């Protein structure tokens, strides 16, 4: 039970004793921490119903609650009940947290199975800056669910079946890199040895540009794409080898960001389910033909209101339009929506998760709304299944526009990571630490992640390396630094560790900060946004710094007190490390 629930229970008993209902009782953190730690406005809300003045009712509840060894209740004008947690209450809480394998993070009452779809890299296309937020946000939400007791499965959902594959292979063929597979002495089982990722990163953009001006090239690429989808050799074999090459690189890049996936499936894995998916819509009468394509009307009543035309030749427009989903094109090509619907069909056959969470940028919101509605209409997703799209905003440069290279081009994912690591290395060398690349990665990535996750997920944010990397302030490195400081204290301490025994205002604030931290997890769980956790972790780190600055820990003369202060250090370290782990940020031993 959390302290807040404990308080509610104690007050609840007093209220019941008075013959009143407790439905409206809720206890919240105080917004006047100098006066109290928690408060409730229960008396203000029900006074009228029971025909009393709020302050009288509050006083009566406090009287009925009586003495309590953990809490001190007081009624204050106009009718609040303030709650101060006594040191004994804070000690009981802190020592319980230390013993708990979940460190006081409340576990969900009914654990569920969630499937996470994030990452979204495309095979044969280089990862760019737009691919950074999905693994950062997705990994954190996934870890949060794990920490709170849910089961999770993560799937990177590669873009591995589209036109980009046909284009790339066609370009490679034309440039002579695939001679072993074609021509007189062709060997469909040849091994690709002359193709590198750097080459792919050149060939795809080249082909992509060409398709816009060269109709014949585009048609050929479409055909190659179809061959791949039909598993025709040598196209399919070449595709698989290129995919393996590309996926190895993608994996490495995600791992640099502490992001891992249980499944490396992709659009291609849903391919066998496409025909069946379309059939379901046709058989249920949910699809209709329109200009040679098959479409599904997903707009709800009132949402799809046609606007009267001024002239009959005008295209029909709608008020509040939710356009129909196109599930099959006139040329039979498979579409993004269809693939996602088929993927849900596949996932439900294989895993039947209680919820599927997609993490992409907000430009895909319309797409997912259509996909989800289609799945519900067709019964591909059972009514009880929750489908969630976590839509994040754009990462902007300091000018407030989407982050670009100096020349205005797209920034590569790799370049952002290198920049982070190099900046962290510089910063470390200013502090006298040189040549520790892994440490620099942990700090650079921690800086980026905290800078990202401390914003409300839906909002755009500004990528500001200097600000993110500051060793003090609301940053990842500051929290890492706090842990490193504690490590250095612990390294110098020998002997047995005591218990948390709050003696000072500084220690009180630490335990209260952990209380807040532990209540932030539920907020993040409900909102799919990590900002509350980021801020509470900072508050805890900063509460520790105050203790550190004002208190001699290792030099404390009283041995009992010294080992209890060490216990406070361990308490803070464990809670901060857990918070960082959930955010996908590594702790560091030293920095
Ligand atoms: N590959 C896509 C892209 O680069 C993202 C995939 C997101 N996930 C999904 N199930 N559609 O935009």
CATH number of the domain to which 557 belongs: 1.10.730.10
Give 8 or 410, the one with higher predicted confidence.
8
Q: Which helix (H) or strand (E) holds 296?
A: strand 293-296
Does 478 fall in a domain?
Answer: yes
What is the share, in percent, of the chain residues with pLDDT greater than 70? 98
Q: What is the mean pLDDT of residues 125-137?
A: 92
CATH code assigned at 69: 3.30.1360.70
Return the ligand 1 atom nearest residue 122 CA.
1
Chosen domain end from 85, 110, 133:
85
**Token digits for 92?**
């009981």
Is the CB of 259 within 6 Å of ligand 1? no
- Give the domain extent around 542: 417-583
* pLDDT at 440 > cutoff 90: yes
Is 253 a member of any domain? no
Q: Are 200 and 248 in contact (CB under 8 A)?
A: no
Structural domain count of the chain: 2
Give me the residues paired with residue 83 across strands: 38, 73
Nearest by Cα to 327 from 336, 338, 341:
338
How much distance in Å is there from the Cα of 557 to the middle of ligand 1? 60
Helix (H) or strand (E) holding 472: none
Is residue 232 domain-resident?
no
Distance of CA 27 to the CA centre of its chain: 28
The preferred substitution site among 116, 117, 118, 120 for testing ligand 1, maximizing ligand atoms within 8 Å of CB, is 120
Least confident of 95-99, 239-243, 331-335, 385-389: 331-335
Residue 215 lies in a domain: no
Residue 127 Cα to ligand 1 midpoint, Å, equals: 12
**Burial zone of 158 (CB within 10 Å; 0-12 exposed, 13-18 middle, 19+ buried):** buried
**Atom of ligand 1 at shortest distance to CA of 340?**
10
The residue whose CA is least distant from atom 8 of ligand 1 is 120
| Cis before 195 (ω within 30) | no
pTM (2 d.p.): 0.92
CB atoms within 10 A of CB 362: 16
Q: Which residue lies with its CA nearest to atom 6 of ligand 1?
A: 120
Strand partners, 317: 307
The closest residue, in CA terms, to atom 3 on ligand 1 is 120
Q: Give pLDDT, residue 299.
A: 87
Residue 96, pLDDT > 90, answer yes
Q: Which residue in this structure is represented by tokens 């791949």?
A: 228
Helix (H, G, I), strand (E, B) or coil at 421: helix
Query: What pLDDT shows up at residue 331?
Result: 62
**Nearest Cα residue to atom 2 of ligand 1:** 120
Is 170:216 a contact under the CB 8 Å cutoff? Answer: no
Taking only Cα atoms into account, the Rg of the chain, rounded to an integer number of angstroms, comes to 29
Range list of β-strands (E), 324-438: 325-328, 355-361, 386-392, 395-396
C-alpha 117 – ligand 1 centre gap (Å): 9
Domain boundary among 85, 115, 131: 85
In a domain, 446, yes or no: yes
Q: Look up residue 305 and give its two tokens.
A: 């209101």
Half-sphere exposure of 239 (CA within 13 A, CB side): 23
Report the atom number in ligand 1 closest to the C-alpha of 158: 1
Residue 45 lies in a domain: yes
**Range name among 133-147, 175-189, 246-260, 300-314 with the lowest pLDDT average:** 300-314
Give me the pLDDT at residue 66, please. Answer: 93
Q: Is the pLDDT of residue 313 over 90?
A: no
Where among 50, 67, 85 does a domain terminate?
85
Q: What is the DSSP letter of 459?
A: S
- The residue assigned the tokens 């609301």 is 474
Question: Looking at 296-300, 483-487, 586-590, which range is the least confident one?
Answer: 296-300
State the Cα angle at 84 between 79 and 90, rounded to 5°.
Answer: 155
Check if the beta carbon of residue 345 is closer than 8 Å to that of residue 310: no
- Using CA atoms, how far apart are residues 134 and 360, in angstroms rounded to an integer? 6
Whose tokens are 């540009």? That residue is 209
Burial class (CB in 10 A: 0-12, 13-18, 19+), 89: buried
Within-domain flag for 320: no
Beta-carbon-side half-sphere exposure of residue 182 (alpha carbons within 13 Å): 12
Q: Strand pairing of 305-307 and 293-296?
A: unpaired
Tell whether ligand 1 has an atom less than 6 A from the beta carbon of residue 59: no
Pocket test for ligand 1, best of 360, 365, 371, 372 (most atoms within 8 A of CB): 360
Task: Look up residue 52 and give its DSSP letter.
Answer: S
User: What is the reported pLDDT for 309?
Assistant: 85
Q: What is the pLDDT of residues 38-73, one digit of tens each?
A: 999 999 999 999 999 999 999 999 999 999 999 999
Indicate whether 180 belongs to any domain: no
CA separation (Å) from 240 to 235, 267, 552?
9, 14, 62
Determine if ligand 1 sits within 6 Å of the CB of residue 564.
no
Least confident of 321-330, 461-470, 505-514: 321-330
Question: What is the reported pLDDT for 330?
Answer: 66
What pLDDT shows up at residue 497? 95
Distance CA 232, CA 247 (A): 21
Residue 378 backbone phi and psi in degrees, to 5: -85, -5
Quick check: 577 pLDDT over 90?
yes
Tell me whether strands 386-392 and 355-361 are parallel, antiparallel or unpaired.
Answer: parallel
pLDDT value for 323: 86
Please check the confidence at residue 303 and state whether its pLDDT lies above 80: no
The answer to whether 221 and 163 have CB atoms below 8 angstroms apart is: yes
The confidence score (pLDDT) of residue 198 equals 87
- Judge if the beta carbon of residue 122 lies within 6 A of ligand 1: yes
Mean per-residue pLDDT over the chain, rounded: 93
């Amino acid at each position: 039970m959390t302290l807040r629930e404990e308080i509610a229970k104690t007050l609840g008993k007093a209220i019941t004793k008075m013959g009143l209902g407790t439905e409206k009782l809720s206890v919240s953190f105080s917004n006047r921490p100098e006066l109290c730690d928690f408060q409730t406005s229960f008396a203000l809300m029900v006074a009228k119903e029971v025909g009393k003045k709020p302050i009288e009712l509050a006083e009566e509840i406090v009287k009925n609650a009586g003495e309590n060894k953990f809490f001190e209740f007081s009624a204050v004008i106009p009718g609040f009940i303030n709650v101060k947690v006594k040191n004994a209450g804070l000690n009981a809480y802190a020592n319980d947290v230390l013993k708990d394998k979940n460190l006081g993070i409340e576990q969900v009452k009914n654990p569920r199975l969630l499937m996470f779809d994030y990452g979204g890299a495309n095979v044969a296309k280089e990862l760019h800056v737009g691919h950074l937020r999905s693994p950062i946000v997705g990994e954190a939400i996934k870890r949060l669910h794990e920490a709170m007791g849910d089961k999770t499965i993560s799937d990177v959902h590669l873009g591995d079946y589209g036109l980009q594959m046909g284009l790339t292979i066609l370009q490679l063929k034309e440039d002579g890199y695939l001679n072993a597979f074609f021509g007189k002495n062709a060997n469909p089982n040849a091994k690709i040895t002359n193709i590198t990722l750097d080459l792919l990163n050149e060939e795809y953009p080249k082909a992509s540009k060409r398709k816009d001006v060269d109709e014949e090239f585009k048609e050929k690429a479409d055909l190659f794409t179809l061959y791949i989808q039909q598993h025709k050799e040598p196209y399919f074999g070449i595709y698989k080898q290129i995919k393996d090459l590309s996926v190895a690189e993608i994996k490495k890049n995600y791992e640099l960001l502490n992001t891992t996936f249980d499944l490396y499936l992709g659009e291609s894995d849903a391919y066998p389910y496409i025909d069946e998916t379309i059939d379901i819509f046709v058989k249920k009468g949910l699809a209709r033909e329109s200009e040679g394509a098959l479409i599904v009307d997903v707009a709800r009543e009132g949402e799809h209101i046609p606007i009267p035309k001024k002239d009959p030749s005008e295209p029909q427009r709608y008020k509040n339009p939710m356009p129909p989903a196109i599930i099959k094109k006139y040329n039979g090509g498979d579409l993004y929506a269809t693939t996602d619907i088929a993927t849900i069909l596949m996932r439900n056959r294989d895993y039947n998760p209680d919820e599927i969470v997609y993490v992409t940028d907000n430009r895909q919101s319309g797409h997912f709304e259509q996909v989800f509605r289609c799945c519900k209409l067709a019964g591909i997703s059972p009514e009880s299944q929750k489908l969630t799209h976590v839509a994040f905003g754009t990462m902007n440069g300091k000018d407030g526009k989407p982050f670009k290279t100096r020349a205005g081009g797209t920034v590569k994912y790799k370049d952002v990571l290198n920049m982070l690591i190099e900046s962290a290395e510089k910063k470390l060398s200013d502090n006298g630490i040189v040549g520790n690349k892994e440490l620099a990665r942990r700090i650079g990535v921690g800086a980026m992640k905290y800078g990202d996750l401390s914003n409300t997920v839906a909002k755009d944010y500004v990528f500001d390396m200097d600000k993110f990397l500051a060793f003090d302030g609301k940053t990842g490195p500051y929290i890492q630094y706090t842990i490193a400081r504690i490590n250095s204290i612990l390294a110098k301490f020998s002997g047995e560790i005591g218990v948390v025994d709050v003696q000072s205002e500084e220690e009180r604030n630490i335990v209260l900060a952990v209380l807040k931290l532990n209540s932030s997890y539920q907020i993040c769980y409900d909102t799919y946004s990590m900002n509350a956790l980021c801020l509470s972790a900072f508050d805890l780190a900063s509460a520790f710094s105050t203790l550190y600055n004002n208190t001699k820990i290792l030099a404390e003369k009283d041995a009992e007190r010294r080992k209890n202060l060490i216990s406070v250090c361990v308490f803070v370290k464990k809670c901060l490390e857990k918070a960082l782990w959930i955010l996908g940020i590594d702790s560091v031993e030293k920095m």
